[in-house]
Each structure stands twice: as structure tokens, then as C-alpha cells.
Amino acid sequence: MVTFHISFERILPESKPDAVERLSEIAKFTFCDTFRHYEKSDIDAYLAKSLSVEALSREVAEPSNFFYFVNLDGATTGYLKWIFPSTVYLEHVDLKCERPLLLERFYFLPEYCGKGLAPVALQFVQSFAQHIAQADYLYLSVWEKNFRAQRFYQKWGFRTLGCFDYPVGDVIDQEFLYGKRLT
């Protein structure tokens, strides 16, 4: 019999101790896989500052941060994080909204990209945003050269709101802000 069981596993301070270790592992792996153009020393600094077990434990403890693993038949395929409420990055755009939700991280392992999981996960985020948080806007930032992610978000109704510089070491990347009105 074919099974296809998707679950969203929230990572909380009271989750099993290995949950944040797993989160750190998948976050580091997917970050390195996505941002291969950075210098190794810059990547190492970012991983230690933002994706270490210590850093993520602090983030998980913040009530406005929502981390989830996306599991398929018991295997972790990716993870996501949203922040609600959030106004991070919105200083770069002229946007009228009252209750914005930021999808800050949305990462699948390469072998699970293009397998129909990302649309289900995006729907999960959007359902929470609309029906539980009563958010009126869903937004995110995406690297200018991440064409696959841009295509994905465009396919699901996001539009470009603006852009901003994102310096990492000697590299200055552009990030595009994408958004979608929910009400």
C-alpha cells in the first residue's frame, strides 16, 4: 500500500532535546546548499551566529517565532519558520497592512524539492496566518538569484514589493521582498 503522510511538527522549548539539534543540522545543510556563492569563512560565521544549537534554542524560546519540521512518512524533509507579528524588513517598502506575518525560513532538502511538499507547507502557513493569527498580509524575502524560489512564490500568488541590500562579508546581495494580501 502506498502511504503519503505529511505532518508539521512544531519545535518548542519543551520539545525533546534532540529537536533543536535536528533543526540546526537541517538549517545548516539547506543554507549551505542554497547559498553556495558565499566565502567559506562568511558561511561559517553565519552558521555559528544564526544556526547553531545555542542560537536556535534562543529563537525557539521566543513566543513570536514558529518553527516546524515538515515530515513525510516519518522522515524530515524540510523546515519552516514564521514570525508573527513581524515588521522586519517592512521599512524597505510602502505597504499598508495591520497584522503582517513573515515567512522567514522555508527550506526543503534537495531530494524533496519539486515533490509537491512545498505547496502543502505554504498552504499550512497561509491557513495559520489567515484563520488562527488573523494576519492580513504574508510576506518574505528571497535572494535575487534564487530563481526557483521566486518562481515558486510567483506561482502561488506573491508579488514583488521591493528590494534591499543584504551584505554578507564582502558580497552585497539584493533581497527581493515578496508579499501576498490575505484579506
Give the range of 62-70, 124-132, 149-157, 159-167 binding ligand COA by CB under 6 A: 149-157
State whether residue 91 is helix, strand or coil.
helix
Contact between 176 and ligand COA per CB under 6 A: no
Contact between 83 and ligand COA per CB under 6 A: no
Of 37, 151, 159, 181, the one binding ligand COA (CB under 6 A) is 151
Give the range of 51-59, 127-135, 142-150, 163-171 binding ligand COA by CB under 6 A: 142-150
CA distances from 80 to 3, 92, 108, 117 (A): 23, 23, 9, 12
- Beta strands 171-181 and 159-168, pairing class: antiparallel
* Site track 46-65 with ligand COA (rule: CB under 6 A), x = hit: --------------------
Contact between 147 and ligand COA per CB under 6 A: yes
* Site track 84-113 with ligand COA (rule: CB under 6 A), x = hit: ----------------------xxx----x
Contact between 71 and ligand COA per CB under 6 A: no
C-alpha dihedral, 167 to 168 to 174 to 177, nearest 10°? -90
Of 131, 145, 148, 159, the one binding ligand COA (CB under 6 A) is 148
Of 149, 161, 177, 182, the one binding ligand COA (CB under 6 A) is 149
Among 146, 7, 148, residue whose Cα is nearest residue 72: 7
Which run of H or of E encompasses 81? strand 75-83
Distance of CA 175 to the CA centre of its chain: 14
Angle 8-45-76 (CA atoms, 0-180°, nearest 5)? Answer: 20
- Whether the CB-CB separation of 82 and 102 falls below 8 Å is answered with yes
Query: For the chain, what is the largest distance between any 2 Cα atoms, rounded to a whole number of angstroms?
Result: 53
Of 66, 152, 158, 176, the one binding ligand COA (CB under 6 A) is 152
Using CB under 6 A as the criterion, which residues of the chain lie in contact with ligand COA when the complex forms? 30, 34, 78, 106-108, 113-114, 118-119, 142, 146-149, 151-152, 155
